[in-house]
Amino acid sequence: MMNGRGTGNTGGDDSDRKHLTGREVERLIEATKGSRNEARDRCLLLLMFRHGLRVSEACRMKLDQVDTKAASCTSPD
């Protein structure tokens, strides 16, 4: 690819990119290792990445919006 997307290359002009690459998400998850709330932080990052949540949407989530038995969650309005 001409702009370096999808190659792991940080070169090129990615100024119009509005998402994280898989490698960037991996690095964020790695950064949680050994933190005080590692499990919570890893879950939030995965939830945000896999479901396209914005930071503001993830911050507004409440525990009653998560149904662990049905493995689902509802997004805050």
What's the mean pLDDT in 44-70?
87
What's the mean pLDDT in 40-66?
88
| Residues 38/44, Cβ–Cβ less than 8 Å | no
| Cα four-point dihedral sign 31, 65, 70, 49 | negative
Residue 2 has pLDDT above 50, yes or no: no
Instruction: Please state the domain extents for the chain.
Output: 22-73
**pTM for the predicted model, two decimal places:** 0.64
